[in-house]
A and B are shown apart, each in its own frame.
Chain A
Amino acid sequence: MTSPALYGPSGGTRRGGLRQRLRRLADAAVTPLDLDDVLDVFHPLRGGLGDTGLRGRIVEVRPETADSATVVLKPSKDWAGHVPGQYVRVGVDVDGVRLWRTYSLTHGPRRDGCLSITVKAIPGGVVSGYLVRRARAGQMVQLAQAEGDFVLPDPLPAKLLLVTAGSGITPVIGMLRNLFSRATTPATDITLVHVNVNEDSAIFRDELRAHAAAGHLTLVERYDDRDGMLDVDSLSTIVPDLDERLAYACGPAGLLDALEAHHAARGLDLTTERFRTPLLEASGEGGSLTLATTGVTVDAAGDTPLLDVAEAAGALMPSGCRIGVCFGCVLPLREGVVRDLRNGQVTVATPGDGVAIQTCISAAAGPCTIDR
């Protein structure tokens, strides 16, 4: 719906009113559908749909390494923009099933209005495997507005340290591309420590080397096969002025945990972005999940988030980051016992309680009923 407030003060309400009346007429002509259902048939990327109707069309899938690819998307007109470093939730139809995953945006605002994400296909990864190997230009995906706090401060600090490992380079390349696409290169002194298993699997390797060659940043390439695993205690040797640098890191949990401990010990600030929250290993026996509105009951394993269990049973679930951060998936637990997959903490709800739980990190620890 277009709000009348979008129009100027003079005569705005009347025009808005007319628009709304026309809209109501159109809706009455196509009920039980509404006008948007009909327009979707012809122009799915139009604006005015609000955040729930956000979509994108794949413009290009460009391989980066053997198991990663950049997906360029043309978003709906309603796309509200983003700050480099933020991520976007993407709903992809894999084998006919819509699956939502989160991907960092790998650029700043682009002149062509497109978005790009860079995906690394992880072994057995359903969505990442699909996007890297099967997605084709022309296909549609669902989108949500950009979110996330992994962004550079404004104004920029004098010195920055960026530590990335593997696909953890994605939010950082977004920041860098944005900084270096400006007319004047920022004065900030940037060191990027980029860790990879080997040279061939290093995403954006050549682009980063070009930036280094142009004097934009100091690039430290670390390869596990050549240099061995990075020991965070050696960081102060690799980056002598470590204590003067504002630090950002993105990569696997092991590296981030070590870095956080390391920086905390030195009293330094560190901003991290995690692609995954370490979940408890096989936790408990599980139970069952009942969806209150439909009465459907399914088995729920003790190590599977209720969100996944419910979705597998065909329910439409609210969801967000899927790693326990955004609270987009919170629903009342009417009755039952759930275990937090991150720390094993048990939450019990008796009838009438309606305890709000995050379904993406809660697994059944007995029979559970949720309001859905």
Chain B
Amino acid sequence: MTVITKQDVNPTAHLTPEDVEQIGVELDAIRQDVLDARGEKDAAYIRKVVDVQRKLELGSRAVLLGSALPPLWVLGTLGLSVAKILENMEIGHNVMHGQWDWMRDPKIHSTTWEWDNASTAEGWKHSHNEVHHTYTNIVGKDNDLGYGIMRIDEDQRWHPFHLGQPLWNFINACFFEYGIAAYDLELGKNLSIPKEKRSEKFKSDLAKTLRKIRQQATKDYVVHPALGLPFGATLPILTANFTANLVRNLWSHSVIMCGHFPEGVETFERKSIPEDETRGQWYLRQMLGSANISGSKAMHLMTGNLSHQIEHHLFPDLPSSRYAEIAPRVEALFDKYELNYHEAPLPKQVLSAWHRVVRLSLPNGFLATTTPKNLPAQAKLLWAMSTKGPKVRRAAQARLVQLEKRQKAEKAAV
């Protein structure tokens, strides 16, 4: 996508400033309705999910003691994967957002929660709740746009490094929890600073994260395999835990990619966001910058209701269990103001997000201007762009974009 202010037709051009503020008023009303209704049922829901998750995890780990038998390995691994996903998505992510703080239960509270993940709750709350949710999809401000290792927007400048991004993305998906931890620490940026100049905060955060990683790894790869020793299940437990972590990582990576990466989700230019962005303007940015996944109740639960990414970004602190209920009202508001409510089934969104990752691994316009006939010439061009320095790259890039425009115009004329 291109930041909305540089598109041929800005998707918000038809809205007057009054419309934008009215959208804010109407969304605030939806929010208030949930706040008014929130109560015993919601509290019972999250306690139930926590209860089920804990029993499922314990049960699965018990089954894995017998995982020398392959069917039990499969059953235990499946259960543990589901338990880990629930813990991260429907419970951890949402509790840390403060969605359940209103219950005033210190056991289910954003300030006390720690999750089964390599990144610390503290680091995650900063990079996710503060940075990503505030500066959603602003190129150069929201690091979730490619996590600092990928080009996810036409307006992020292409570099030969990006040719590898489909691979980076896949590796990141497999080890997503460590990716998140590194990302929360801004590891790349901080490691490029000479050791003696790194901030105290970074050093202490790094120490905390390493301790967390050690504890997590000790649990899954030392303690539980050791408990399996008397049952001859050490190795199967090790592989089961590794698999469960992998499944959880792949799943959460996919869900999160679907939230903001699918084609058609809008991004924003830093300088187009006013200093004093109004509530209506902020809401509008969240509306256009997120995508939903359609599907069954079970799918919503397993995504931590991030399948309702649009609703979540509008109201990050409302209980996740309420998103499904308000979704029709939010969608009606999109229709009323002629905005695109971006929703599709999981496979479609995942594919679309991957398409974007692959497309943008190449220079802008490259894929569109490549035909079987000009393939050799294009390959040569890409080689030149990758090896010959920034000047050549810029010139070639400009030509590509122009060519793409011309082709588009010709097509339109026909």
Contacts and interface: CB of A to CB of B under 8 A. Distances in A.
A297 B41 CA distance: 28
B104 A314 contact: yes
A25 B223 contact: yes
A38 B83 CA distance: 14
Interface in B2-45: 38-44
A280 interface: no
A95 B223 contact: no
A29 interface: yes
A93 B39 CA distance: 10
14 contacts: A28-B218, A29-B227, A31-B216, A31-B219, A32-B114, A32-B115, A32-B216, A41-B51, A97-B103, A98-B104, A99-B104, A314-B102, A316-B101, A316-B111
Given A29-B223, A32-B115, A314-B101, A96 B58 contact: no
B133 to A, nearest CB: 14
Contact of A311 (B40, B54, B104): B104
B377 to A, nearest CB: 55
A190 B295 CA distance: 72
Interface in A58-103: 93, 95-99
Nearest to B42: A96
Given A38-B58, A95-B40, A96-B38, 14 more contacts: A25-B223, A28-B219, A29-B227, A30-B219, A32-B216, A93-B40, A93-B43, A93-B103, A96-B43, A97-B39, A97-B102, A294-B111, A314-B102, A316-B101
A237 interface: no
A99 to B, nearest CB: 8
Nearest to B98: A314
Interface string B302-314: 0000000000000
A95 B51 CA distance: 19
A4 B38 CA distance: 45
Contacts of A234: none
Interface string B100-133: 0111111101011011100000000000000000
Contacts of B199: none
Nearest to A26: B223
Given A41-B54, A95-B40, A316-B111, A28 B104 contact: no
B348 interface: no
Nearest to A142: B105
A25 B102 CA distance: 34
A127 to B, nearest CB: 13
Nearest to A40: B107
B112 A316 contact: yes
Contacts of A98: 103-105
A345 interface: no
B218 to A, nearest CB: 6
A126 to B, nearest CB: 12
Interface of B: 38-44, 51, 54-55, 58, 98, 101-107, 109, 111-112, 114-116, 212, 215-216, 218-219, 223-224, 227
A83 B111 CA distance: 36
Nearest to B106: A316
Contacts of A41: 51, 54-55
Contacts of B114: 32
Which 8 residue pairs are nearest across A and B when measured between Cβ atoms? A96-B43, A314-B101, A32-B114, A95-B39, A98-B104, A31-B215, A29-B223, A96-B39
Interface in A23-53: 25, 28-33, 37-38, 40-41
B43 A293 contact: no
A201 B98 CA distance: 43
Interface in A93-136: 93, 95-99
Contacts, number: 67
Contact of A28 (B38, B51, B116, B215): B215
Contacts of A37: 54, 107
Interface in A298-334: 311, 314-316
Contacts of A294: 111
B208 to A, nearest CB: 12
A194 to B, nearest CB: 36
Nearest to B51: A41
Nearest to A29: B223
Contacts of A99: 104
A37 to B, nearest CB: 8
Contacts of B224: 29
Nearest to A99: B104
Contacts of B104: 97-99, 311, 314, 316
A195 B285 CA distance: 64
Nearest to B99: A314
B219 A29 contact: yes
Contacts of A25: 223
Contacts of B40: 93, 95-96
Contacts of B223: 25, 28-29
A37 B54 CA distance: 9
Contacts of A315: 101
Interface string A264-294: 0000000000000000000000000000011
B219 A96 contact: no
A315 B104 CA distance: 7
A28 B227 CA distance: 12
A96 B215 contact: no
Nearest to B53: A41
A37 B106 CA distance: 12
A31 B224 CA distance: 12
Contacts of B42: 96
A66 to B, nearest CB: 25
A33 B92 CA distance: 12
A231 B38 CA distance: 47
A38 B50 CA distance: 11
A33 B55 CA distance: 13
Q: Which of A28, A31, A95 has the largest count of B CB atoms less than 10 A from its CB?
A: A31
A40 B216 CA distance: 21
Nearest to B61: A29
A33 B101 CA distance: 19
Contact of A38 (B44, B54, B102, B216): B54
A128 B97 CA distance: 32
A314 B109 CA distance: 9
A97 B42 CA distance: 10
A32 B43 CA distance: 22
Contacts of B218: 28, 31
Contacts of B111: 293-294, 316
B186 to A, nearest CB: 20
B323 to A, nearest CB: 17
Contacts of B55: 41
Contact of A316 (B43, B109, B219): B109
A31 B58 CA distance: 12
A315 B105 CA distance: 10
Nearest to A294: B111
A32 B96 CA distance: 14
A300 B247 CA distance: 47
B111 to A, nearest CB: 6
Nearest to A317: B104
A325 to B, nearest CB: 22
Interface string A336-354: 0000000000000000000
